[in-house]
Amino acid sequence: MEKLGVIGGMGPEATAYYYDQVVRHTQAATDQDHIDMVILSCASMPDRTRAIQTGDARSLLTTMRSCVSLLEQAGCAHIAIPCNTSHFFYDQIQAFTGIPVIHMPREAVRETVLVGGARRVGVMGTDGTVASGVYARECEALGATCVTPPAELQASVMSIIYDDVKAGREPDLDAFDRVIGWFLDEGACDSVILACTELSVVSQYRRLPEAVLDAMDVLVRKSILLSGARYRA
């Protein structure tokens, strides 16, 4: 099996959840059946949404380059970044290294459109992810429509991410349900992607609706399979 590199810490709880899910979903009877991982919890990484909104990503990309270099030195064969918003900078990050970086938004959209058959895809993520169009471009490439919530509901999404999960509090499940309800009713979406790894934490508190796909789940499966281990559903 091959060693997996992870650029995490965006945020720390989401990274811890990602690692837990990789362990839980690896078909393993012994320690040696699990994959070797190098996890860099770079909590000091500059805020991704702010970098997109201000157009100043110099510090962020310098930090990313340093992380990539460390993972190269550690002999990693693939890199996973459990942070959707950071994929706005995917091309720059991939240019830092010859190691393949898993494109989480691309893999998530392929899952919901090519496998699930969705034509209208709701995206629930940070202001940075929504404004960057990273999911919209992937949907468009596959002939699907990307739908984002109105401003007042987007504010609720940001509150769940920043005021709740990143602040170490339980997510506001009522607010979460209101946004999902809008997507499936007024937004007429046939699938909703949780496009922020902080939102992945919601599944610790309740079962997600059938129409909801967590991009983190897709990244977990891809990480396991690319590393040469067996995936357990």
Q: Answer whether 93's CB lies under 8 Å from 101's CB.
A: yes
How far is Cα 17 from Cα 23, in angstroms, rounded to an integer?
A: 10
Tokens linked to 133: 């169009």
Of the candidates 73, 74, 78, the one whose C-alpha atom is nearest the C-alpha of residue 102 is: 78
139 as an active site residue: the answer is no
List the catalytic residue out of 83, 139, 146, 189: 83
83 as an active site residue: the answer is yes
Q: Answer whether 228's CB lies under 8 Å from 35's CB.
A: yes
How far is Cα 57 from Cα 52, in angstroms, rounded to an integer?
A: 7
The residues facing 147 across adjacent strands are 122
Helix (H, G, I), strand (E, B) or coil at 227: coil
Task: Round to the nearest angstrom and report the end-to-end CA distance of the chain.
Answer: 19
List the catalytic residue out of 42, 76, 146, 196: 196
Measure CA 87 to chain center: 9
Is beta strand 212-214 parallel, antiparallel or unpaired with respect to 191-194? parallel
Active-site amino acid positions:
83, 196
